[in-house]
């Protein structure tokens, strides 16, 4: 039992961190399910401990390695741009997935749609060279907001809307053909029986 209740600021921070993790886990779960149950493909998932290299999660599927920087906002958010780390350009198939979430509090679920910035599967991130350099949110002692040389500001108009996780998985990994559902069922049934 804790000694004191968390302050409201601490509480808000903890809930913010929890919520960010919740959305990320929902997203990863959706990607894994669509990849397996629709396309019959497994996905390896690696999560970054720090985002200094420009990505939050790495997926490998269908011979494609994707370093993904995740952004998230409510489906009706007025957010008009996202900040992207240039380190993502050095990855073999880096991309940005902007998760647009819609909460259904009656069903206790979140549904996701997406905005995508990146190349085709296996291709690098488009160059960030021509985009605006980001600045720090707070000014220095003189009130000057210094530039963040490694960060570029990408307007929403440069992102491609993607309506479903199934469509996103196709874009991420170059998948186009649905697997035979009976084959998936047989494999899944065999795995479940071998665990018993």
Domain residue spans of the chain: 8-127+153-195
Contacts of residue 188, Cβ cutoff 8 Å, sequence gap at least 6 = none
Q: What is the rounded CA–CA span in Å between residue 42 and residue 150?
A: 33
- Using pLDDT thresholds of 50, 70 and 90, give the confidence band for residue 194: low
- The β-bridge partners of 170 are none
The CATH code belonging to domain 8-127+153-195 is: 3.40.1350
Report which of 63, 57, 5, 59 is spatially closest to residue 32, judged by C-alpha positions: 59
pLDDT at 111 over 50: yes
Global pTM reads 0.85
- Using pLDDT thresholds of 50, 70 and 90, give the confidence band for residue 3: very low
Segments in the chain forming alpha helices (H):
8-33, 165-173, 181-195
pLDDT at 186 over 70: yes
């Amino acid at each position: 039992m804790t000694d004191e209740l968390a302050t409201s600021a601490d509480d808000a921070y903890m809930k913010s961190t929890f919520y960010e993790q919740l959305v990320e886990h929902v997203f990863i779960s959706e990607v894994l399910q669509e990849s397996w149950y629709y396309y019959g493909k497994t996905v390896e998932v690696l999560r970054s401990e720090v985002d200094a290299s420009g990505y939050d999660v790495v997926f490998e599927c269908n011979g494609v390695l994707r370093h993904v920087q995740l952004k998230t906002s409510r489906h009706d958010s007025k957010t008009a741009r996202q900040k992207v780390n240039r380190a993502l350009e050095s990855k073999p198939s880096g991309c940005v997935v902007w998760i647009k979430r819609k909460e259904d509090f009656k069903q206790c679920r979140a549904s996701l749609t997406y905005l995508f910035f990146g190349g085709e599967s296996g291709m690098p991130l488009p160059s960030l060279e021509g985009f605006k350099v980001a600045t720090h949110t707070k000014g220095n002692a003189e009130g000057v907001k210094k530039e963040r040389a490694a960060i570029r500001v990408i307007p929403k108009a440069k992102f491609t809307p993607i309506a479903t996780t199934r469509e996103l998985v196709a874009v991420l990994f170059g998948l186009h053909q649905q697997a035979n559902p009976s084959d998936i069922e047989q494999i899944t049934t065999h795995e479940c029986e071998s665990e018993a």
